[in-house]
Structure 1
């Protein structure tokens, strides 16, 4: 049996809350069926508005939203939330405190007979790793368990699309990675298409199949996490998704002359031109002061698993950051050398 199509297509989506308060401005987004896409952006960029329009809680001013070829929002059309076959995992779970875990999960299964509801409830509880928890009450569960129950409730009616609205915010850092992995595994096991709305760059890059970076109501870039990180579409995207080293450059014949030396580029420059090259701090290495490009250490920030060393270099207005794994042997005020590895990305 061929599984139903669940791809998400958004075209020209616009929404304003007044004449001077445009939130979405012709936003386009395509998510293949079965993929988990993270919608990543700063506060106020339009992430929550986008989620509410997809869910049907808010009407768009223009544009279309289709799931599996079925139009949910379009000119003169606005299907109500209950008709959209969309599951929602809100922040902090939002379970019904007076209902057991099983009754929370079965809440949206009103169209099934009692035995079928029980079977489907047990099935999705097993899927999220909480089989046997059906008789518990929400207050008896940890925060991570409550989020997995919320996911089970969203998956139980077999929705065409699952929306996750910053669902890990309330969890401490020790729990967050584990719950993210559990949620991702459960979504993949069902083949559900999902949208994760987040402002956490690490969460987006480590969890999603696609990352859509939103800026000022439009998609600034949508690609795999690796491409968004390694080949960002603009310096702004580069700085938003991770630590970035931006250096003025003159490019020619596939390389760029910079204060850090001549660097190979990820793509041909297309003739001689000036611009800015992007490097990630892990592409920079500290060397003996007598080798590489010389600089002076201005700061060292230790994070446990690594450290960030800031180095001033002649010809650059700002220090460059070097990510160092393992012990850090340099101190502020000391001279050091810098060597660049890998390719740089050129931006105009």
Structure 2
């Protein structure tokens, strides 16, 4: 079992961004806390995406797990082995952790096969292991090529093969698809996911790309202000956001003021069924996704709005409406393209169930 367990992880940087290098050292009163008691469990064999905005602590978390930074407090264990704890700091080279950096960072003077074999300590097995890993990532026969002879996507596959070759306890991927153009990104993501699952590796992918996290990971951990705001399957995080902030960050959200009672909420768009009864009935925020709204013929008895914008994406389109009684505009996602233009009136009908949170809408 190579599960990852993080408990109460705290890390602060001082005014010079150097940070404390000794566990347990008091933090400066003028320092900036980046990780604030963060806890996270990643089951063995799972690919977890750590998702969050810039500056939320994603990279710091990755560096603490890898051993490049010392935590001020908290613990990190992999497969039951303690790597970080008060008074304990296993150096990076002894953590048995593979790392896939942002742009591959292959050794330019080594062939693809020699890059992959670099971390394999059994010399007799190096060539065989390199061939196995290159085949696993779809690059059989590319072992003799130099990094400059490979495309960006191929370089990232070699970097993954290099990280997997020593059979590490954990693989860390630091925004590995950033440097790829959109045409390559989806294919490389799928190949990376397949390779990780084929080896049974436990992995953590750091990303700021919501679509990437939802489409690749088994588990999504959303980081906000140094803590895990929500952790769950991609479906749960998207369909049952833990807060209005999570809803607005992970995908597009329609946040409506509403009053909850007996499993429903009354809103400017009518009465909407809730996924679960509100813990505290009363005023709060109703959360829908844009695809849960349907456009209808406007009538005098149903909610309606005025089109203010139309954005066409090919496979779907997003219609923005101004609705009487709502301060914020409402986005509606529809299949294909509708013959609607700014200024047109249209009816609006919510479908499915919504999530409810006490308190006002906040992005």
* TM-score (normalised: structure 1): 0.97
TM-superposed deviation, 1:292: 3.4
Q: Which residue of 1 aligns with 2:333?
A: 323
Alignment match, 1:118: 127
Partner of 2:43: 32
For 2:139 and 2:80, the matched residues in 1 are separated by: 34
The runs of 5 or more residues in structure 2 that have no matched partner are 15-27, 359-363
Rounded to whole Å, the distance in 2 between the matches of 1:21 and 1:292 is 50
Tell whether 2:305 aligns with 1:295.
Answer: yes
**Stretches of 4+ moved more than 3 A in 1?**
none
Alignment partner, residue 193 of structure 2: 184
| Coordinate RMSD, CA, aligned | 0.9
- Residue 230 of structure 1 pairs with residue 226 of structure 2: no
Tell me, yes or no, if the aligned pair for 1:278 and 1:344 is still in contact at 8 Å. yes
1:201 paired to 2:201: no
Distance in structure 2 (CA, Å) of the matches to 1:158 and 1:306: 42
Within 1, Cα distance between the matches of 2:260 and 2:254?
17
Q: What is the correspondence of 1:136-215 to structure 2 with a 5 Å cutoff?
A: 136-215=145-224
SS of the equivalent of 1:176 reads helix
Tell me whether 1:65 sits opposite 2:61 in the alignment. Answer: no
Number of corresponding residues? 342
Judge which range, 87-96 or 324-333, deviates more.
324-333
How far, CA to CA, are the matches of 1:252 and 1:17 in structure 2? 46
Q: TM-score, normalised by structure 2?
A: 0.93
Aligned equivalents of 2:10 and 2:279: distance in 1? 36
Alpha-carbon distance between aligned partners in 1 of 2:110 and 2:123, rounded to the nearest angstrom? 19
> Aligned to 2:41, what secondary structure does the other structure show?
strand
| SS of equivalent residue, structure 1 residue 149 | helix
Contact 1:253 1:270 in 2 (8 A): no
Shift of 1:177: 0.2
Cα offset, 1:271, TM superposition: 6.1
The SS at the match of 1:206 is: helix
Residue number among 230, 236, 240 corresponding to 2:249 in the alignment:
240
Mapped partners of 1:113, 1:276: distance in 2 = 61
Give the drift of 1:75.
1.1
